[in-house]
Amino acid sequence: MENFWELFQDYINHVEIPKAPSHAGERMLINSRVGQMLSNFSDLELQYVEKVIMNTKYINYFETIQALNSVVDDFIFNNIDKYNSFDLLLSSKKLGSEVWLIAHVADKLAPYINNIYFMSNENMVNIEGKHFIYIDDCVYTGIHLEENLDNAFTMINHPRCNEPEIIKNELTILTVAFNEFYPYYSLSVYGLNTSLYSFYYLTPVFDQDDLNCVHQDLIFESDIDSALALYFDHKVADEMSSFPYIYLDYNLFEYPPDRSPIKDVELNIVSKLD
């Protein structure tokens, strides 16, 4: 089987990876625009919108990379005596921020990584005795993670696998931030607990009928209780994970999130893995 990790390392060792989004650290919400935005909502809607907007957490690029390095250091320190090596697990060859983040910590990971495995790929067949690590910027509601894991759950130590003989491998999630109100199937997670910014925590008591009334305007999904009032320099998550209608449609930033470094890495690195 081809070693995708060696291909990945070879590329980043010869090409300067575009690291920082433009205007990193300059995406604070603009108070005057927030005030204008709030004036568009009814009293009922404001009960929810104000809770979200006034308790939003901004994790800038520098904080993101610092947190990611700390997470990787903690994971290695706590596991290297038990495991000599690990394998990276990626959702697919059409990626988001995962590969961009991995490029930032590739030097730390290099002594311990054997290979990269892709879910729903032929190289996930007949795999046993491995400890996979899955790296991402944030696990919000867990919806996307669940979808990805469902594609490969027979290959990892997944509590939905009730038959012991098919629990063949282990998985640890290394993420900058996560929401503990989502169970993640009891998987091991390293990262900053940002549950204080979840809709569930911000509005612990809400009327479901009221919420249904504002659902269409605010694009509140069915799992809104787990969504996080949180954004990064490189992205605002989709409506299943955060509140893009509030943050983006009302243009609350001077500079919109910049995904160009991620697109460059995906275009150049992922193409090498095909």
Which tens digits make up the pLDDT trace of 195-215? 899 888 887 666 666 666 655
In this prediction, residues 156-180 reach a mean pLDDT of 67
Q: What is the mean pLDDT of residues 251-256?
A: 92
Q: What is the mean pLDDT of the chain?
A: 80
Up-side HSE of residue 243: CA atoms within 13 Å toward CB?
29
DSSP string, the chain: ---HHHHHHHHHHHS----SPTTTT--PPPHHHHHHHHTTS-HHHHHHHHHHHHT-EEE-HHHHHHHHHHHHHHHHHHHTTT-S-EEEEES-SS-SSHHHHHHHTHHHHTTTEEEEEETTSGGGTT--S-EEEEEEEEESSSHHHHHHHHTTGGGS--TT--SGGG---EEEEEEEEE-TTS-GGG-EEEEEE-GGGBHHHHSSS--HHHHHHHHHHHT--TTGGG-BSEEESS----TTTS-HHHHTTTT-SSS----HHHHHHIIIIIHHH-
CA distances for 73 relative to 111, 161, 176, angstroms: 13, 30, 12
CA distance 34 to 37: 5
Report field, pTM of the whole predicted structure over 0.75: yes
User: CA 272, CA 268: separation in Å to the nearest integer?
Assistant: 7
List residues bridging with 139 in a β-sheet: 178
pLDDT category of residue 229 using cuts at 50, 70 and 90? very high
Sign of the CA dihedral running 137, 134, 118, 167: negative
> What is d(CA 184, CA 158) in angstroms, rounded to the nearest whole number?
10
Phi, psi (5° rounding) for residue 89? -115, 125
pLDDT tens-digit readout, 79-90: 988 888 999 988
Q: Is the C-alpha dihedral spanning 220, 226, 230, 232 positive or negative?
A: negative
pLDDT score, position 158: 47
Per-domain residue ranges of the chain:
4-15+31-273
* Distance between start and end Cα atoms, the chain: 13
pLDDT of the residue at 28:
95
On the 0-12 / 13-18 / 19+ scale of CB atoms within 10 A, 109 is buried
Q: In which band, very low, low, confident or very high, does the pLDDT at 186 lie, cut at 50, 70 and 90?
A: low
Q: What is the pLDDT of residue 267?
A: 73
Q: Give the pLDDT confidence of 31-64 residue by residue, as tens digits.
A: 999 999 999 888 888 888 898 999 999 999 999 9
Confidence of residue 135 (pLDDT cuts 50, 70, 90): very high
Region 15-44 average pLDDT: 88
Q: How far apart are CA 273 and CA 14, in angstroms?
A: 15
Percent of all residues in the chain with a pLDDT value above 90, rounded to a whole number:
34
- Mean pLDDT lowest among 106-115, 119-128, 137-146, 176-185: 119-128
pLDDT band at 265; cut points 50, 70, 90? confident
Q: Which residue has the tokens 């005057």?
A: 32
pLDDT at residue 126 in the model: 66
Query: What residues contact residue 209 under an 8 Å CB cut-off, 6+ apart?
Result: none
Query: Could you give the percent of the chain with pLDDT greater than 70?
Result: 72
